[in-house]
Amino acid sequence: MNTPKTHFLSTPFLPSHPLFHLHKPLPPHHSKSHSISALILPNGSSYPNPKPVSVQDLILPPSSSSSSSSQQRQLYQPFRPPPSPLPLKFRDLDINGKLEILTDRLGLWFEFAPLIPDLVQDGFTPSIIEEITGITGVQQNCYVVASQVRESLIESGVDDDIISSFDVTGAEILYEIRLLSASQRAAAAKYLVANEFDAKMTQELARTMKDKPRRKGEKGWDSFDDELPGDCLGYMYYRLAHEHKATNDLELWRASLEKALNALESETARKKVLEELEGKDDDAGTDGLAVSAVKVPVVRMKIGEVAEATSVAVLPVCRAEGGTVEVEDAPWECGSKGDFGVVEAEKGWKSWVVLPRWEPVAGLNRGGVAVAFKDSKVLPWKASKWNQNEPLLVVTDRGSKEVVADDGFYLVVGGGNGNAEEGLKVEKGSALKESSVKESLGSVLMVVRPPRDDYDDQISDEEWD
């Protein structure tokens, strides 16, 4: 009996029943020209799609895809490395070559200076560079910073002749003007070359250029030009001259004014200093002050001034409210003894003060005392020009009690009439003579004002009444 054969594959490795139906193969898929017209379901049936949908529509809408691609193209920024700070002749060197140049100092300092940060980027520390090349960490920093200052001078349009003046030994000099602005650096560089400044003098010049604008309102400030390095330096010497004048050191006063004249650039500042030398100080006339009339200097302490002083004076301190008792009980003698300069007093005392050995206290070997006042109302000068709440020390010589000079000043109890309830005060000699007072607790040598951050003028120019 002939059994009709089915059109299925027959093999001993496959089951005899059909596994699947063979369908006519689908034509090749082209997403550009074909769309899906039906969905084939797992059970072999099909579900007609009422609206043909392209494959791209199923993946991502065309409009969204195109806008995203456009946005990506706009946001893409290719990486462009910054230009190398190394000179062209050093860019192809390997690490050993760079180290060799630094070791042998092959080239000018500003040429091999960029090799230092380049080696740091390669993993070298300043200590390792110092060990290999012999250039200390301090010198490495000096070279790098000075080379940056030199570049800023070039960008500011400074003449090549001036810049070339720093080619050989200019690193230390340019390093000192690193804190100045670009315009200040350019002006300072010209002044440095013209006056042949070394690193120490440059440091002083840079400090004065930073300090001068902060002292607006001080005596003579507006006569010196902030934009001129020489005027800034001259103003520093001008202020220093006033400090020496307050301590009656006329030799140093004149020497400071002469230094100011040598440093100045503007005619206005030069005229101001010449008037000071000739005793024609306009500021003194304007404020109603004749410097010669101030017999007692008034000095404001500077922060750290005692630490910088080469010689000091140690004085016992009395409270003004302690009256006559404390002033008379304070030690009369105090001095340093032995190889170590140990300070010894004739007897114990609670409070002491250390002052720079200014001229008024330099000759005070016995009887000196500093009287502490809580405010300045005890002093006979114009109250409208003085901070009444500021404490101060009145340095007094107890060995000079007799009221002699009319324009001198003396420490007295009350108004000099012995009334202890009024407390200690400072009175002018002429006023005491009018009250028939012939003896005081001591003559006033100087008045010391406390240091403060918003430091104004070292020497007060207030007028004593």
What pLDDT, on a 0 to 100 scale, did the predictor assign at position 249?
78
Say whether pLDDT at 251 is over 50.
yes
DSSP string, 115-143: HHHHHHHTT--HHHHHHHH---HHHHHHH
Say whether pLDDT at 19 is over 80.
no
Name the average pLDDT for the chain.
77
DSSP 409: E
Token code pair at residue 1: 């009996």
Q: Answer yes or no: do 320 and 425 share one domain.
A: yes
CA 137 from chain centre, in angstroms, equals: 22
Comparing 152-161, 203-212, 408-417, 440-449, which segment has the lowest mean pLDDT?
408-417
Instruction: Tell me the average pLDDT across 377-394.
Output: 67
Nearest to 440 by CA among 452, 431, 451: 431
Q: Answer yes or no: do 96 and 235 share one domain.
A: no
**Domain holding 123: CATH number?**
1.10.10
Strands 36-40 and 46-53, by their bridges, are antiparallel
Instruction: Tell me the average pLDDT across 96-121.
Output: 90
Q: Answer yes or no: do 194 and 316 share one domain.
A: no
Q: Answer yes or no: do 95 and 204 share one domain.
A: yes
CA dist 335 and 220 (Å) reads: 40
Name the band, by pLDDT with cuts 50, 70 and 90, for residue 432: confident
Strands 312-319 and 334-337, by their bridges, are unpaired
Name the band, by pLDDT with cuts 50, 70 and 90, for residue 452: confident
Query: 106: phi > 0 → left, psi -120 to 50 → alpha, else beta; which?
Result: beta
Instruction: Tell me the average pLDDT across 51-59.
Output: 51
- For the chain, what is the domain count? 3
CA dist 290 and 297 (Å) reads: 13
Q: Answer yes or no: do 375 and 308 share one domain.
A: yes
Q: Which of 46-50, 387-391, 398-402 has the highest mean predicted lDDT (pLDDT)?
A: 398-402
Q: Answer yes or no: do 414 and 389 share one domain.
A: yes
Domain edge (last residue) among 178, 212, 246: 212
Q: Answer yes or no: do 93 and 133 share one domain.
A: yes
Comparing 38-47, 151-160, 280-289, 301-310, which segment has the lowest mean pLDDT?
280-289
Determine the structural domain holding residue 92 and report its residue range. 88-212
Domain edge (last residue) among 286, 311, 329: 286
Q: Answer yes or no: do 373 and 408 share one domain.
A: yes
Residue 47: inside a domain, yes or no? no
The C-alpha R_g of the chain, in whole angstroms, comes to 44
Q: Are 108 and 114 in contact (CB under 8 A)?
A: no
Residue type, 369: V
Q: Which residues contact 89 (CB under 8 A, 6 or more apart)?
A: none
Q: Answer yes or no: do 268 and 160 share one domain.
A: no
Say whether pLDDT at 401 is over 70.
yes
Q: Which residues pair with 337 in a beta bridge?
A: 342
Say whether pLDDT at 287 is over 50.
no
Q: Which of the two residues, 67 and 233, has the higher pLDDT score?
A: 233
Say whether pLDDT at 209 is over 80.
yes
What pLDDT, on a 0 to 100 scale, did the predictor assign at position 453?
66
Q: Answer yes or no: do 319 and 272 share one domain.
A: no
